[in-house]
Amino acid sequence: KQEVTQIPAALSVPEGENLVLNCSFTDSAIYNLQWFRQDPGKGLTSLLLIQSSQREQTSGRLNASLDKSSGRSTLYIAASQPGDSATYLCAVDRDDKIIFGKGTRLHILP
């Protein structure tokens, strides 16, 4: 059974720092991996989607990497801003169902 783990559960960093969020999954037979952002009381917004054949995707200050063989993905946020404060979830896609991690709650200190 696929399990997705995100560490740490919560993270506080000063504004301007670069940071890395981690995601691991137990079954490497995935179609893709997505990183989502969730603001309090809101739905999820897809940030980056990495296909199983890809190694990384970039969007602005965000860079996501995927290492299928080791079952790991990282989300790198450059030059963090207070507006980046949110919960970040990773999810892996297999058999038309998505399995989510519990998320990392990120707080950027002004």
Partner 1 sequence: DGGITQSPKYLFRKEGQNVTLSCEQNLNHDAMYWYRQDPGQGLRLIYYSQIVNDFQKGDIAEGYSVSREKKESFPLTVTSAQKNPTAFYLCASSPYGTGNQPQHFGDGTRLSIL
Q: Smaller CB distance to partner 1: residue 15 or 28?
A: 28
How does strand 4-7 pair with strand 19-25? antiparallel
Q: Residues binding partner 1: what is the number (CB under 8 A)? A: 24
How long is the chain?
A: 110
Give the residues across from 83 on adjacent strands: none
Shortest distance, CB of residue 65 to partner 1, whole angstroms? 17
- Under rule CB under 8 A, which residues in 12-71 are in contact with partner 1? 31-32, 34, 36, 41-46, 49, 51
98 counts as binding partner 1 under rule CB under 8 A: yes
Q: Smaller CB distance to partner 1: residue 88 or 108?
A: 88
Strands, E assignment, the chain: 4-7, 10-14, 19-25, 32-38, 44-51, 56-59, 62-67, 72-77, 86-94, 97-100, 104-109
Alpha helices in 40-79 (DSSP H): none
Residues that bind partner 1 (CB under 8 A): 4, 9, 31-32, 34, 36, 41-46, 49, 51, 89, 91, 93, 96-98, 100-103
